[in-house]
Structure 1
Amino acid sequence: MATTTHSTSTEVHENNLETYSLVWLESAMNEANEYIEAQKRLRKLINHLKIFDDVEQCESYMRSVPKDDRIILIISDQLGQDIEGISTKVNALVDQILLDQTTRFRNKVDEILPINIFNSGTQAEKSTTGLNGQFMFSQLLIDRLLRMKPKVTDKNELTDRCKKFYKNNSSELAIIQEFEKDYVSDRALWWYTRESFLYRLLNKALRTQDIDLLFLFRFFMCDIQKQLQKLQCSTFLRVYRGQVISKDELDTLKTSTGQFISMNSFLSTSLDRRLALSFLSSSTISGDLQRILFEIDLDPTLAGIKPFADITSSSFFTNEQEVLIMLGSIFRLVNIDCQNGVWIAHMAICSDNDNSLKPIYDYMKNEYDENDSGSSDFSFGILLFKMGQYDKAEKYCNRLLSELPRDHPDLAPCYHNLGMVANHKGKYDTSLEWFAKALEMYNKTRQPDDPVVATTYNSIGEVHFRKGNRTNALESFKKALSIRKKRFGEEHLQVAMCYHNMGNVYQEEKKFQEAFECHQKSLMIRQKYLPTDHPDIGASVHCIASIYLCLNYPDLALQYYNRALEIYQKSLPSQHQDIAMSHYNLGLLYAGKEDFQQALTHFQKASTIFHVTLPSTHPFIGIVNQDIQRVSNKLK
């Protein structure tokens, strides 16, 4: 389907790889040359064009667009006559839109900055939004992407994807062909700063974590990093970036003084404060939008910082004093205040080693390194799974399966990862099929007591447990435990995992003493070898809380559930299933205490995450919806 579409009937909302889209509403299809030429001109800067002749369909489409995307709406003919401020001359309107878009590209104040905040305060001092976990996993994702070895086919695959998206857009296709023919790694900055598909697609892919596109952009991001390292500034700089942000984002920043901030994009800044302020003051704001100027101190003598450089000599625009800061850089927010109607946020770049998440970050990064064979990118799929991004993990692993030879050693772990994804999506039979394929391959290539065989038995047990087959689950867990104790001894993290899972089975069988002993063993091992806020410790604490609740010790259960939630919010993304389960169980606890308002709050938080991370048919969604209805009725 071409990107330009006439929508006279309901259509599926196709994926727009750019942030901006054009929506053109007219009472009747106008094929006049003036209109066709106007649309061609507009698509030079905004590729995604949708044309409607039905108001309801137009409104429905706009409501379906992701909230962080931008729409430029054009209403023509009689439909626009009663709307104030609309230009009635098509060419004048197009000229103004093109000028506005060019200005937006040059000053970047309207560009969406994906900001993550790490709050180093205590749980009582921080909001319960999971910002810390999001901060850490964003850093892990960037690290893994930049360390994955690009394939020689990535560039061709990227341009093929772009050609399909920009079909019928002759101006952008010409740039893509130029890129195919002329691109070399030491011109990455020149290409990035040019107003073209590369800048638009990469920045949106980083903001939305579009794994497919980011995977293909690895070579380009690595080339930018190498150029920045080569051009790294050697003296202290203060740089400026004007930005328009929402009131909610501003409120978050205002309560984050002294905290760490990372931005999941390459950050374009200026050495000229007056220029940055002039760009900001000329920007149009409406609704709850606020103007903010970031003043950023850059000290190149600090150890463990990502590169930044004055890229004037390498930029497409050689007359600008632009300093580009590497993707994933970490800053400390020094202070924020308002001056003459503009918020000023003073930040300073800081070492990746400064924040208190470093111990758990390093530990989890090393976990993925251990899973990486050195010749593959399999551990990237594990990271996506750990982030709770099950659809993306599944898509990535299927991609690897299509690329790997039939006898490749990474096929078995790929099958295993797909089995874990299917299990968490509630597709239990599919999960067992994937694990059977993994086990079959391991049996041909590994010894029967190999730890990876134990890992597969453990995962098979988890599926049987979720299906309610407790006997089969316990049998699988005991097989895994036997192999692991023989290989590693009693005190090992993989042994702790077996005890953890066996404890869950015993709890379901109402053998609470055996369950408690298993979870205590698991927790003791994990506390000995893991960082304090590792999510596996949170899992053990959560399970002990559940046993206390079953034994009618609600106060102890509440204490342990809150501790588990605190750990998860420090170490997991905000929309992770483990956070949802913590909220759900807290909801059950408060419902039992007849504190129905608190119960409803936690059930609703759980429901929000489940609806984002699980298929609509997953049983968890129906269960939590019933609980919401139950406690809502109690509040009437």
Structure 2
Amino acid sequence: MNSQKTTTAVSGRSTMATTNSTATRPEGVSWVLENFGLIWLDANIDESKGNYKQSIQDLRDVVATITTYTDVDQCVDYLTDIEDEKVLLIVSGALGQQIIPEIQACPQLDSIYVFCDNQLIYEQWARKIPKVKGVYTQIEPICKALQIDCEHLDRSMIPISFGGIDPLFMYTQLLKEALLEIEDDDTKSIKELVDYCRLQDAASEKTLEMIEREYRGHTPIWWYTGSYFIYSILNHGLRLMDVDIILKMGFFIRHLHQHIRHLYCEQQSGKITASFEVFRGQGLSIEDFNKMIQTNGGLMSFNNFLSASRNRQISLEKFARPAALRNVNSVGILFIMTIDPIVCEKSKILFADVSEVGYFEDTKEEILFTIHTIFRINQITRLQDNNTDRLWQVDLTLTSDDHHELNTITSHLRQAFHWTTGWSRFGDILIQLGELSKAEQLYKALLETASSDEDRADYNLQLGTVYNHMGQYSKALSSYEQSLEIQKIVMPQNHPELAASYNNIGKVYSDMGEYSKALSSYERSLEIRKIALPPNHPDILDSYNNIGNVYYNMGEYSKALSSYEQSLEISKVAFPPNHPDLARSYGSIGNVYSKMGEYSKALSS
């Protein structure tokens, strides 16, 4: 066999088939749909042998993506290219001694499993490497070790955002609303998810057929807590804001939330209970831990569905302490979460006891919170431990939606996003986060499946906004014009949204320096707004400002002055005396007078 690697799962749009149904990873494409993947390095791998095929099948019952190598250099190149996922490595004893000293410090490498014929030869040196989990002569114990490590990785990689540090935190409630208000066709969505996972080779055909056949036969919580790929892929998608995954799993997010809401109503109806504590043990990267310390006293959000336990000992011993010991690049965290049922009832913060509906029988003390639950960080304390100084306790208190600090942020943003819902709001949030390529990907995908002219107009409008932010003005102009043409068909000729489209087109022309075309579009926008809106509406003010800006850039200062003055007159009526728009109008007028050489008037403005 040559030294080229092979892989059993690919996240690309296209793959190159080989004789053993493996595929190479397209350049620049994420290699995995989960938070981790497995690399197997062994110079003596023989894919034609039955024991190899059986070993791959056993491993794939634990990890969806397995990439094999026989060449050390190619393996190292591949490993160091990975940025957003963690890597689990099976390596032969002989190659392990060669490669491990070189790669053991790689932050993306989480765990190493030495696979050899003779444990005694390799155990002595392997024992000195913290990331080496053991030396094995059979694949079965490796699979058992992988199961434990994969569970720890998924828990440690739950997406978290911190108030005042992560931009996503500001949008967390709006993102939640956007994802939960989408009404997709469930039957179609299930099939699309299965087809997508089949294309990406994200699970065995047996599992995919089971999901397609039996999805409605089990509860969403059963699927989420089960030993399938649902939890891991959803966790991965929400952590990276992966558009493809979120599009395909939007229906499941809604189903799971609805199931938690149903159980919450059943379990909490009529109950008046005191505050109680739940616990969660997990690993946390040093980067996120430092963010948590900076946010101490502030707010944090878990941006996936959040599982916790009523059993402190299990959370500490099974998850927090092992996380502290397993990786020098992370710390072990024991979250102690104080839950006030009155706050939950008032703010509709949903949670459910999943003991009767979970996949595993040992979940009798597990609580599952809905997506994007927010907590205040009260205290961070190091836990004494004889084996590590990286074990910490973090005390949290569940925070209501009407908390002043949070409510102020959310209310302001909700006004800014008032016209968008569902997928469009999700795209708008991506734009605000600066994730322009992801927003472009989203709107292109939505356009392919849009079922109405209104949706096509909306998605083209948003796509134009994305391209405008990217500085790709010709593409922005094309998208805006496509949106406008559809709007002309489905809307009255003086509808305000037509004015907004002309305004967007004018802005692109202005950015391109084509001022006469910009002026024409801005003037058409103003004509419609004068008919459709009250005389002192802020949008009319905006049109006069835009026209004034164009005249200013063209050097026609008297016309610019006239437009700015009309904008100022509306501002005086529409806004209070100290409003920023008044200052903007006076500033623009002052600039024009300065250009005209009338400096005393410029000073008075």
Structure 1 residue 461 and structure 2 residue 511: aligned? Answer: no
Per the alignment, residue 92 of structure 2 pairs with 76
The verdict on how the C-alpha distance between 1:337 and 1:298 changes in structure 2, with shifts beyond 3 A counting, is same
Per the alignment, residue 12 of structure 1 pairs with 27
Structure 2 residue identity aligned to 1:150: D
Per the alignment, residue 135 of structure 1 pairs with 169
The verdict on how the C-alpha distance between 1:281 and 1:379 changes in structure 2, with shifts beyond 3 A counting, is closer
TM-score (norm 2): 0.77
Distance in 1, matches of 2:519 and 2:96, equals 68
Distance in 2, matches of 1:8 and 1:177, equals 21
Structure 1 residue 396 and structure 2 residue 442: aligned? Answer: yes
| Deviation, structure 1 residue 520 | 6.8
Per the alignment, residue 309 of structure 2 pairs with 270
For the 8 Å contact 1:13–1:64, the answer to whether it is kept is no
For the 8 Å contact 1:294–1:346, the answer to whether it is kept is yes
**Quick check: 263-272 or 90-99, which moved more?**
90-99
The verdict on how the C-alpha distance between 1:281 and 1:10 changes in structure 2, with shifts beyond 3 A counting, is closer
Structure 1 residue 329 and structure 2 residue 373: aligned? Answer: yes
Distance in 2, matches of 1:10 and 1:395, equals 20
Distance in 2, matches of 1:298 and 1:425, equals 44
| Deviation, structure 1 residue 249 | 1.8
Matches within 5 A, 1:549-568: none
| Deviation, structure 1 residue 109 | 7.5
Structure 2 residue identity aligned to 1:450: H
For residue 317 of structure 1, give the secondary structure of its aligned residue in structure 2.
coil
| Deviation, structure 1 residue 522 | 9.1
For residue 382 of structure 2, give the secondary structure of its aligned residue in structure 1.
strand
Fraction of identical pairs, as percent: 25
**Quick check: 279-288 or 201-210, which moved more?**
279-288
TM-score (norm 1): 0.74
For the 8 Å contact 1:502–1:518, the answer to whether it is kept is no
| Deviation, structure 1 residue 59 | 2.1
1:3 aligned residue (3, 6, 9): 9
Per the alignment, residue 126 of structure 2 pairs with none
Structure 1 residue 245 and structure 2 residue 279: aligned? Answer: no
Structure number with the bigger relative contact order (C-alpha 8 A, sep ≥ 6) is 1
Distance in 1, matches of 2:522 and 2:372, equals 40
Per the alignment, residue 122 of structure 2 pairs with none
The verdict on how the C-alpha distance between 1:108 and 1:8 changes in structure 2, with shifts beyond 3 A counting, is closer
Per the alignment, residue 311 of structure 1 pairs with 354
For the 8 Å contact 1:20–1:72, the answer to whether it is kept is yes
1:196 aligned residue (228, 245, 248): 228
For residue 334 of structure 1, give the secondary structure of its aligned residue in structure 2.
strand
For residue 501 of structure 1, give the secondary structure of its aligned residue in structure 2.
helix
| Deviation, structure 1 residue 72 | 1.0
Per the alignment, residue 191 of structure 2 pairs with 156
Distance in 1, matches of 2:486 and 2:577, equals 31
| Deviation, structure 1 residue 528 | 6.0
State the Cα deviation string for residues 85-111 of structure 1 (Å, max 9, x = none): 834249646334322332245566753
Distance in 2, matches of 1:525 and 1:194, equals 61
Structure 2 residue identity aligned to 1:27: A
For the 8 Å contact 1:503–1:516, the answer to whether it is kept is yes
Per the alignment, residue 580 of structure 1 pairs with none
1:409 aligned residue (454, 462, 478): 454
For the 8 Å contact 2:509–2:518, the answer to whether it is kept is yes
Distance in 2, matches of 1:473 and 1:300, equals 56
Per the alignment, residue 116 of structure 2 pairs with 88
State the Cα deviation string for residues 351-401 of structure 1 (Å, max 9, x = none): 1111424245235435545345xxx85554444444443333333333333
For residue 43 of structure 2, give the secondary structure of its aligned residue in structure 1.
coil
For residue 313 of structure 1, give the secondary structure of its aligned residue in structure 2.
coil
For the 8 Å contact 2:568–2:586, the answer to whether it is kept is no
For the 8 Å contact 1:27–1:77, the answer to whether it is kept is no
For residue 244 of structure 2, give the secondary structure of its aligned residue in structure 1.
helix
For the 8 Å contact 1:384–1:392, the answer to whether it is kept is yes
The verdict on how the C-alpha distance between 1:486 and 1:112 changes in structure 2, with shifts beyond 3 A counting, is same
For the 8 Å contact 2:297–2:379, the answer to whether it is kept is yes
Per the alignment, residue 625 of structure 1 pairs with none
Structure 2 residue identity aligned to 1:404: A
For the 8 Å contact 2:495–2:528, the answer to whether it is kept is yes
Structure 2 residue identity aligned to 1:59: V
Distance in 1, matches of 2:569 and 2:432, equals 24
The verdict on how the C-alpha distance between 1:156 and 1:78 changes in structure 2, with shifts beyond 3 A counting, is same
The verdict on how the C-alpha distance between 1:518 and 1:192 changes in structure 2, with shifts beyond 3 A counting, is farther
For residue 342 of structure 2, give the secondary structure of its aligned residue in structure 1.
coil
Structure 2 residue identity aligned to 1:439: L
| Deviation, structure 1 residue 439 | 2.4
Structure 1 residue identity aligned to 2:52: Y
| Deviation, structure 1 residue 2 | 5.1
Per the alignment, residue 228 of structure 1 pairs with 260
RMSD: 3.7
The verdict on how the C-alpha distance between 1:43 and 1:438 changes in structure 2, with shifts beyond 3 A counting, is same
Distance in 1, matches of 2:224 and 2:193, equals 15
Distance in 2, matches of 1:10 and 1:437, equals 36
1:21 aligned residue (32, 37, 52): 37
| Deviation, structure 1 residue 344 | 1.0
State the Cα deviation string for residues 135-176 of structure 1 (Å, max 9, x = none): 122321221011111213111111111122227x6xx32222
| Deviation, structure 1 residue 455 | 0.8
Matches within 5 A, 1:113-124: 113-119=158-164
For residue 183 of structure 1, give the secondary structure of its aligned residue in structure 2.
helix
Matches within 5 A, 1:148-187: 148-152=182-186, 153-166=188-201, 172-184=204-216, 187=219
| Deviation, structure 1 residue 29 | 4.6
The verdict on how the C-alpha distance between 1:529 and 1:9 changes in structure 2, with shifts beyond 3 A counting, is farther
Per the alignment, residue 358 of structure 1 pairs with 407
State the Cα deviation string for residues 149-207 of structure 1 (Å, max 9, x = none): 1213111111111122227x6xx322222221122286110110001111111111111
Distance in 1, matches of 2:303 and 2:571, equals 34
Distance in 1, matches of 2:395 and 2:331, equals 16
Distance in 2, matches of 1:518 and 1:273, equals 66
Gapped regions of structure 1 (runs ≥ 5) = 120-128, 553-636
| Deviation, structure 1 residue 411 | 2.3
Distance in 1, matches of 2:340 and 2:498, equals 49
| Deviation, structure 1 residue 75 | 2.5
For residue 356 of structure 2, give the secondary structure of its aligned residue in structure 1.
helix
- How many residue pairs get aligned? The number is 527
State the Cα deviation string for residues 258-298 of structure 1 (Å, max 9, x = none): 21111111111111111111022233333332111110011
Per the alignment, residue 296 of structure 2 pairs with 257
The verdict on how the C-alpha distance between 1:488 and 1:49 changes in structure 2, with shifts beyond 3 A counting, is same
The verdict on how the C-alpha distance between 1:507 and 1:273 changes in structure 2, with shifts beyond 3 A counting, is farther
| Deviation, structure 1 residue 44 | 1.3
Structure 2 residue identity aligned to 1:361: T
Larger Rg, first or second structure (1 or 2): 2
Distance in 1, matches of 2:8 and 2:570, equals 56
1:281 aligned residue (311, 321, 324): 321
For the 8 Å contact 1:419–1:430, the answer to whether it is kept is yes
For residue 486 of structure 1, give the secondary structure of its aligned residue in structure 2.
helix
Structure 1 residue 98 and structure 2 residue 143: aligned? Answer: yes
The verdict on how the C-alpha distance between 1:265 and 1:282 changes in structure 2, with shifts beyond 3 A counting, is same
